[in-house]
Amino acid sequence: MSDFKEVLTKDGSISLRSFSYQENFHSLEGALKETEVKFINPSYLKRFKKKSLNVLDICFGLGYNSASLFTHLLKQNSFLNLYALEIDKKPLEYSLGNKSFQKLWDPNILKILKSLSQNCEYSDLFFNCKILWGDARQTINNIPANIKFDLIYLDGFSPQKCPQIWSIEFLEKVAQRLNTHGYLITYSSSAAIRKTLRNFGLHIFNIKPNVIFKNLWSNGTIAIKINDVENVQDFLYFEKLSLMEEEHLLTRASIPYRDPDLNLNANDIIQKRTQEQLLSNLKTSKEWRKKWGMTKETFNSKI
């Protein structure tokens, strides 16, 4: 685990800091809290009570998102078909060996995670789960083409740290996997990501923060193929983009990450985007922040 350092978050759950990416896996507010607020709550899982659903968990990490998903679905007798993509086995191995992490979950949940770690799959009467190890840009092609997903969780390191999974080319592959009424959910409120997904014809929504502050205006993004969210009775967790957010999509921050052959390293992708931004006639992020009363120090969105 020389590549990682354990981090104790404010809700008592453990996370890791990656030295390679110079970034934590989770917010310091809480690893478990982040999973519930940014992924599980907006999923509106009761839609699938006693029904089946397909889920794609991109950047499985320590396993929080899927473990919490398993917990909620078991309570409502849902049938789950899950594919997970992850490049590094060490975070999951670490979490499974950590007593604090183990205490968070029912033994049945830990059984599933252990099977994924050791055997790359798990199956019972309710769940059929597989994890594909390797670069997600390639392993996504190993998922049968006929499978469309009701939920896609995109939870990698931030675009500035790991642009490989936020490029136009990869996001197009991801968007193509979305079911007609599916939700693509990510913690990122990046203008580049939102604009890219919108250009694919998806409807973009903001995950509401618990408390509104200028430096915390979003808990992430939901992209939906068909705009039917007005029919959701408990429309509590996400909303249409505000004027401020819409104007964010008109700045240089909305210029996408490009990885034409899905094989560039992070530095090359960042350099290509930076050069494109320098040549752009769009407003700068600084101008946008100034208009909306946000300084660089307080700006919370990852752009």
Q: Please report whether residue 163 resides in a domain.
A: yes
What average pLDDT does this structure show over 74-88? 97
Task: Say whether pLDDT at 125 is over 70.
Answer: yes
Q: Could you write out the three-class secondary structure of 112-161?
A: HHHHHHHHCEEECCCEEEEEEECCHHHHHHHCCCCCCEEEEEECCCCCCC
Q: Please report whether residue 10 resides in a domain.
A: no
Q: Round to whole Å and give the CA distance between 153 and 43.
A: 9
Question: What's the pLDDT score for residue 215?
Answer: 58
Question: Rg for the chain (alpha carbons), in Å?
Answer: 19
Q: What is the pLDDT of residues 161-209, one digit of tens each?
A: 999 999 999 999 999 999 999 999 999 999 999 999 999 999 999 998 8
What average pLDDT does this structure show over 8-23? 95
Q: Please report whether residue 90 resides in a domain.
A: yes
Overall number of domains in the chain? 1
Q: Which two tokens stand for residue 197?
A: 């997904």
Q: What is the pLDDT of residues 41-67, one digit of tens each?
A: 999 999 999 999 999 999 999 999 999
Q: Please report whether residue 262 resides in a domain.
A: yes
Q: Could you write out the three-class secondary structure of the chain?
A: CCCEEEEECCCCCEEEEECCCCEECCCCCCHHHHHHHHHHHHHCHHHHCCCEEEEEEECCCCCHHHHHHHHHHHHCCCEEEEEEEECCCHHHHHHHCCHHHHHCCCHHHHHHHHHHHHHCEEECCCEEEEEEECCHHHHHHHCCCCCCEEEEEECCCCCCCCHHHCEHHHHHHHHHCEEEEEEEEECCCCHHHHHHHHHCCCEEEEECCCCCECCECCCCEEEECCCCHHHCCCCCCEEECCHHHHHHCCEHHHCCECCCCCCCCHHHHHHHHHHHHHCCCCECHHHHHHHCCCCCCCCCCCC
Query: Which is more confident, 198 or 240?
Result: 198
What average pLDDT does this structure show over 290-294? 86
What average pLDDT does this structure show over 81-91? 98
Domain containing 80: what range?
A: 31-291
Q: Please report whether residue 15 resides in a domain.
A: no
Q: Please report whether residue 3 resides in a domain.
A: no
What average pLDDT does this structure show over 136-156? 97
What average pLDDT does this structure show over 223-247? 77
Question: What's the pLDDT score for residue 295?
Answer: 62
Which residues are CB-neighbours of 125 under 8 A, at least 6 positions away? none
Q: Please report whether residue 26 resides in a domain.
A: no
Identify any residues that bridge with 36 across adjacent strands, giving them in sequence order. none
Place of tokens 């939700």: 183
CATH assignment of the domain containing 120: 3.40.50.150
Task: Say whether pLDDT at 256 is over 90.
Answer: yes
Q: Round to whole Å and give the CA distance between 303 and 284.
A: 11
Burial of 32 (0-12, 13-18, 19+ CB in 10 A): buried
Task: Say whether pLDDT at 2 is over 90.
Answer: no
Q: Please report whether residue 127 resides in a domain.
A: yes
Q: What is the pLDDT of residues 201-231, one digit of tens each?
A: 999 999 988 754 445 678 899 999 876 655 5
Average pLDDT across the chain, whole number: 92
**Both ends of the chain: CA-CA distance in Å?**
29
Residue 275 DSSP SS3: helix
- Phi then psi for 111, rounded to 5 degrees? -60, -40
